[in-house]
Structure 1
Amino acid sequence: MSPAKVLTLAESDVADLGSIVAAALAHSPAARTLLAALEAEQTVPETAVRDYYARNHDRFLTPEALRRGVTPFDGVAPEDLLPYDEVREGISRELRKAAGRKAFFGWLDRARAGVTYAHGHEHPGDPSHPDHEHRH
């Protein structure tokens, strides 16, 4: 995805990102460029990738294991899991993406820290606003 293009975000992405971040990414090429740069600079240690694989067997069950009704709570045989080498790059990519988003959220929080909204133009979900539960 080119950071210069306008994004259309899926509802699930808006839920994951929050509406303020989603709006920034949907309308700001600079925000998308920053997010892409932050994601690219993240380093995910091999131990973190292996740990994720070990803790999330439910995500790596083979289609055959799923058809047989295997669950990760009943004990999983090695043959019921997709091989680590097959899923390693995808896990690493997802962890890098999550770390990049976390870095972006931190940057955005710091950037917004000094912003004072004009009365009546506060974001309804902004917890710093005394009436943050109101709806427009």
Structure 2
Amino acid sequence: MIVIDELARRACVDRGLNPPPEVTPAKALTLAESDIADLGSIVAAALAHSPAARTLLAALEAEQTVPETAVRDYYDRNQDRFLTPQALRRGVSPFDGAAPEDVLPYDEVRQGIAHELRTAAGRQAFFGWLDQARAGVKYSHGHEHPGDPSHPDHEHRH
């Protein structure tokens, strides 16, 4: 987490970004379990404690462009996510030929889909940045872990 924070601080300086002041440990952010599962525990912990990492992630998300065709394709392929509450109460399945009125209109969900796709693309960009930034980091012997995926014993516990 300390390495990710330091790398993110340097990246923010390089990009001219100004992270907010440090968060005291008592006021560290909490992340949803789904975010932890999507990000991995080390990256999630770093984001919870590092304003610089959060600032960098936000900048990377803002840089992402999601084509309208990708948003529409996501909507068309994931009709089960867009069933109306009434259709869900009736037990309608999008896989068994839901009627058009059983699915929320594209215009109502388009912005939410674009936001989800931009968030996912931003996270991918953050992971790519982190992999590249960590490539030059040299750890002192014995300090390669825990949490360093390049170390063969990165999951051991103390």
| Fold agreement, TM-score > 0.5 | yes
Match of 1:64 among 63, 66, 86: 86
The residue aligned with 1:47 is 69
Q: Is the contact between residue 145 and residue 153 of structure 2 (CA under 8 Å) also seen in structure 1?
A: no
Q: 2:80 aligns to what SS in structure 1?
A: helix
SS at match of 1:26: helix
Distance in 2 (CA, whole Å) between partners of 1:35 and 1:97 is 9
| CA shift in 2, pair 1:125/1:80, >3 Å | same
Give the % identical residues.
87
Q: Distance in 2 between matches of 1:86 and 1:115?
A: 46
2:149, 2:53 → 1: CA distance? 22
Q: What is the match of residue 154 of structure 2?
A: 132
> Is 1:92 aligned with 2:110?
no
Please give the alpha-carbon distance, in whole angstroms, between the structure 1 residues aligned to 2:82 and 2:91: 14
Structure 2 residue 145 is matched with structure 1 residue 109: no
Q: 1:78 maps to what in 2?
A: 100
Aligned residues: 134
Q: Distance in 2 between matches of 1:8 and 1:96?
A: 21
Give the drift of 1:8. Answer: 1.7
Considering only aligned residues, what root-mean-square deviation do their CA atoms show, in Å? 1.7
Say whether 1:33 aligns with 2:55. Answer: yes
User: 1:54-105 CA deviation, whole Å, 9 max, x = no partner?
Assistant: 0111110001111111112212211110000000000001111111111011
Distance 1:117 1:77 in 2: 58
- The worse-fitting range, judged by mean Cα deviation, of 27-36 and 9-18 is 9-18
1-side partners of 2:40 and 2:143: how far apart?
18
State the one-letter code of the partner of 1:91: I
Q: CA deviation at 1:114?
A: 2.0
Aligned counterparts of 1:115 and 1:21: Cα–Cα separation in 2: 16
Higher helix share: 2
Q: What's the offset of the Cα at 1:26?
A: 1.4
Distance 2:140 2:37 in 1: 26
| Counterpart residue identity of residue 82, structure 1 | L
Q: 1 CA distance for matches of 2:47 and 2:93? A: 37
Instruction: Please say which of residues 13-22 and 94-103 is displaced more in the overlay.
Output: 13-22
